[in-house]
Amino acid sequence: MADQKHPRHYDEAFKRKIVQLYESGKPSRETGAEYDIARSTLRRWVQDIRNSGFTRAADDRTPEQNEPVGPGRRDRQLEMEVDVSEQAAPVLARK
């Protein structure tokens, strides 16, 4: 088990694999013992995936990070770059 100062971090694919094992009928006690995962952690992963389709690690992303890269996201990025250059123009012109 990981200590409190150095918790373990699992990637989304691993969490989904463990949840699939559990949902296929493997008891949480066996799954937890085999992969050294607390039963409460496994229950949380199962609940999160059932409720939202993601575990909490994925839910921590901002809506912008979840948005696919496309025209809308690119337009906002370009607008921010224009705003910065407009604000910097007077300062750079003085030098």
- The per-residue pLDDT for range 1-23, each reduced to its tens digit, is 556 666 778 888 899 899 999 88
* C-alpha 15: how far from chain center: 12
Q: In terms of residues, how long is the chain?
A: 95
So what's the pLDDT on residue 79?
87
Q: Which residue has the higher pLDDT, 93 or 15?
A: 15
Q: What is the Cα–Cα distance from 48 to 55, expressed in whole angstroms?
A: 5
Q: Which fold has domain 1-63?
A: Arc Repressor Mutant, subunit A (1.10.10)
Give residue limits of the domains in the chain: 1-63
Q: What is the Cα–Cα distance from 74 to 81, expressed in whole angstroms?
A: 11
